[in-house]
Amino acid sequence: MRYIPNSPEERQEMLEKIGLASADELFRSIPQDVQLNRRLNVTDALAEAEVIAAMEKFAAKNTAASKSSFLGAGVYSHFSPTIVDHLIQRSEFFTSYTPYQPEISQGTLQYIFEFQTLICQLTGMEVANASMYDGSTAMAEAFLMAQRVTRRDKIVVADTVHPEYLAVAKTYTQHGDLKMGIAAFDEGSGRVSELSQLDDETAALVIQSPNFFGCVEDLQALADQAHAVGALLIVVVTEAISLGLLKSPGACGADIVVGEGQSFGIPMSFGGPHLGLFATREKFVRNMPGRLCGVAYDKNGNRGFVLTLSTREQHIRREKATSNICTNQGLIALAATIYMETMGKKGLQDVAMQNAQKAAYAARKISEIDGIEIAFSAPKFNEFVVRTSKPAEEILNRLRGENGIIGGLPLSRYYTGRPNEFLVCVTETMKKEQIDDLVAGLNEFRF
Partner 1 sequence: MTNIPENLRYSKDHEWVLVDGDIASIGITDYAQHSLGDVVYIDMPRAGDKFGTHEAFGSVESVKAVSEIFTPIAGEVTEVNDGLNDTPEKVNNDPYGDAWFIKMKMDNPGEADAMLSGAEYEEYLEASA
Chain residues that interact with partner 1, rule: CB under 8 A: 151, 286, 311, 316-317, 320
> What is the full DSSP assignment across 3-44?
---S-HHHHHHHHHHTT-SSGGGGGTTS-GGGS--S--S-PP
Cβ 316 to partner 1 shortest distance, Å: 7
Cβ 294 to partner 1 shortest distance, Å: 13
Between 221 and 296, CB nearer to partner 1: 296
Strand 192-194 to strand 373-375: parallel, antiparallel, or no bridges (unpaired)? unpaired
Cβ 241 to partner 1 shortest distance, Å: 37
* DSSP tally for the chain: helices H, then strands E: 12, 16
Between 148 and 390, CB nearer to partner 1: 148
Rounded CA separation 326/304 (Å): 21
Cβ 283 to partner 1 shortest distance, Å: 10
CB 109 within 8 A of CB 130: no
Q: Distances in Å between the alpha carbon of 84 and those of 75, 116, 121, 159, 354?
A: 18, 18, 21, 35, 21
Between 308 and 342, CB nearer to partner 1: 308
Cβ 285 to partner 1 shortest distance, Å: 10
Partners of 410 in the beta sheet? Answer: 422
Cβ 305 to partner 1 shortest distance, Å: 18
Between 303 and 317, CB nearer to partner 1: 317
Between 17 and 320, CB nearer to partner 1: 320
Partners of 424 in the beta sheet? Answer: 384
Burial of 312 (0-12, 13-18, 19+ CB in 10 A): buried
Between 281 and 390, CB nearer to partner 1: 281
CB 291 within 8 A of CB 116: no
Cβ 180 to partner 1 shortest distance, Å: 24
Between 325 and 438, CB nearer to partner 1: 325
Cβ 309 to partner 1 shortest distance, Å: 9
Burial of 423 (0-12, 13-18, 19+ CB in 10 A): buried
Cβ 69 to partner 1 shortest distance, Å: 49
Task: Look at residue 297 and give its three-state secondary structure.
Answer: strand
Cβ 286 to partner 1 shortest distance, Å: 7
Between 11 and 317, CB nearer to partner 1: 317
Between 251 and 296, CB nearer to partner 1: 296
Between 170 and 317, CB nearer to partner 1: 317
Q: For the chain, how far is it from start to end, CA to CA, in angstroms?
A: 61
Rounded CA separation 27/2 (Å): 25
Cβ 319 to partner 1 shortest distance, Å: 11
Between 184 and 306, CB nearer to partner 1: 306
The greatest distance separating any two alpha carbons of the chain, rounded to the nearest whole angstrom, comes to 80
CB 429 within 8 A of CB 67: no
CB 120 within 8 A of CB 279: yes
CB 258 within 8 A of CB 237: yes
CA-nearest of 313, 312, 311, 294 to 303 is 294
CB 246 within 8 A of CB 216: yes
